[in-house]
Amino acid sequence: MKKVLQNNLLLIISVLSLTVLHFPKSSAQQNVQEKYFRHLRYNHVSPHVELRGIHEINFKEAQQTSHYVFRYNKVNQLKEIINYHYHDQRRHPLSTIGAYRTVFRYTDTSEVRIFFDKKGDRMMNDRQVYKEQYTFDKKKFKYKLNFYDLDDNPMESNWKIARYQWSKNRKMVIEKRYNLKNRHVNISPYFDFGITGILYQKDGAPKGNYNLNEQLEIQENDVGVASYQDVYDDIGNHIQYSYHDKNDKLVKNQWGFAIGKNDYDNIGNNNKRSTFDENNNLIDTRDLPSNRIVEVASAASKKDTLEIKEKALGYLIALQELKPDLMKSVFHEDLAKRTLGYDPKEKQQIIRETSYKQMVKFAESWNQSGVKFPPKPNNKVIILDIYNHVASVKLISDNWVEYLHLIYINDNWQIINLLWQHKDVRRYKMKE
């Protein structure tokens, strides 16, 4: 307990001693103490891979764009990373930080990383842990990584890993992973590599990750993949990744492709992704959006307007005329339908919810007597806004006033959210 209090005290002192991030400095100070990078080098291999910023920019450019700030101590060790990266990026627990500020602390044999939000409170990173501690040997080889919670107790990551263990074997770094019960864990929940061997390029970028047996021989997993291999360009962009069998021949992974290729714009934004089969034939290609260029939606079409009105009215018609199939077509299965209710036992107002399945049931029998609505119902639709794939509608009937959210999904408009109240306000506690 005393050790924990001492550690927390050191953290508080560290936080209080931090200066404001962006303040005018001489160029000499900036070059020595801080560096600015548009992106982090992509890593889907291992936390053993060095954390590295790419696409370096200057202080002035950093004030105008998404970036990371790398701060260094007097002996050029990474002291802190501030995360101002707001462009779209490929999120990955091994590649992205997921915290506003990452603080680094060192001893002769360890490096500790702790994560903070904008308020200065401790938070989890993208691996869903509060603290990471790397351990080094005398030659500065990184051979262990442990995860800890807020009380410095060992914890598991979102991949159920509590500890990484690394050793050297010829040109490879051998990786094993363990949970809190000290049992072996696969490389990730979606890839069944057990023991792995990491092969590095001279610049520290990962070149290949190999699935190994207990004798450290390359073996294939259940879908025939024995390794995945990466290619980076001179800037550090991750331009290709490919999957291979134990004979190093291209093979499809569990997602149905053998090669993935990424295109980047001139400032490192990934703007295109393509996949290929084992014969290098194109399977699929798609452009990726970037916050660098925002394409605003055009005005809604007449077709959209008519379909939205039809779906909004269809909900009432399905109730009024007992049409469950119509009800199924106008609502999305993830419907959230809510209204204000009253709990007589607790004597307070509450929120009442109705599900998609309940609405279909209501359409089968709720108005079977034919007296829930006037003989000629008055249904009125007012479209409040349409923006590309979403729309907001006000629906007024003899019984209710309702606000609907619709979504355009799979070439079809459907109601996804519905908030309503009775038209007769005397049913409610009067507002003060």
User: Residue 25: its pLDDT value, please?
Assistant: 46
The answer to whether the beta carbons of residues 206 and 199 sit under 8 Å apart is: yes
Which of 139 and 19 is assigned the larger pLDDT? 139
Q: Report yes or no: 86 and 38 within 8 Å, Cβ to Cβ.
A: no
Beta bridge partners of 247: none
In this predicted structure, what is the pLDDT of residue 344?
86
| Domain regions of the chain by residue span | 27-287, 302-427
**DSSP 8-state secondary structure symbol assigned to residue 426:** G
What is the rounded end-to-end Cα distance, in angstroms, of the chain? 52
State the average pLDDT for the chain: 90
Is 166 within 8 Å of 174 (Cβ atoms)? Answer: yes
List pLDDT tens digits, range 373-422: 888 889 999 999 999 999 999 999 999 999 999 999 999 999 999 999 99
Among residues 232, 197, 190, the alpha carbon closest in space to that of 211 is found at 197
> How many other C-beta atoms are found inside a 10 Å radius of the C-beta of residue 138?
7
The CATH number of domain 302-427 is 3.10.100.10: no
Give the model's pLDDT for residue 432: 66
Is the model's pLDDT at 23 over the cut of 50?
no
Q: What percent of the chain has pLDDT over 70?
A: 91
**Residue 420's closest CA among 320, 337, 345?**
337
Residue 343: per-residue pLDDT: 87
pLDDT score recorded for residue 17: 39
- Taking residues 138-154, report their average pLDDT: 97
Please tell me the distance from the alpha carbon of residue 378 to that of residue 363, in angstroms, as a whole number: 18
The more confident residue out of 148 and 66 is: 148
**pLDDT of 115 over the 70 cut:** yes
pLDDT average, residue stretch 130-142: 96
Is the confidence at residue 13, as pLDDT, over 60? Answer: no
- Distance between CA 304 and CA 362 in Å, rounded? 27
Query: Which two structure tokens, joined as six digits, stand for 76?
Result: 């050029």
Scored b (16 or more CB within 10 A) or e, 108-122 reads eeebbbbbbeeeeeb
pLDDT of residue 88: 65
List Cβ neighbours of 395 (8 Å cut-off, separation of 6 or more).
312, 313, 315, 316, 379, 380, 381, 382, 401, 402, 403, 404
Whether the pLDDT of residue 31 is over 90: the answer is: no
Closest CA to 59 of 39, 87, 33, 81: 33
What's the rounded mean pLDDT across residues 40-51? 95
CA 147 to CA 41: how far, in whole Å?
22
List pLDDT tens digits, range 220-279: 999 999 999 999 999 999 999 999 999 999 999 999 999 999 999 999 999 999 999 999
Name the β-bridge partners of 336: 417
pLDDT tens-digit profile of 69-89? Answer: 999 999 999 999 999 988 666
More confident call, 11 vs 288: 288
Q: Which of 253, 197, 206, 249 has the alpha carbon at shortest distance from 225?
A: 253
The tokens of 65 are what? 């764009």
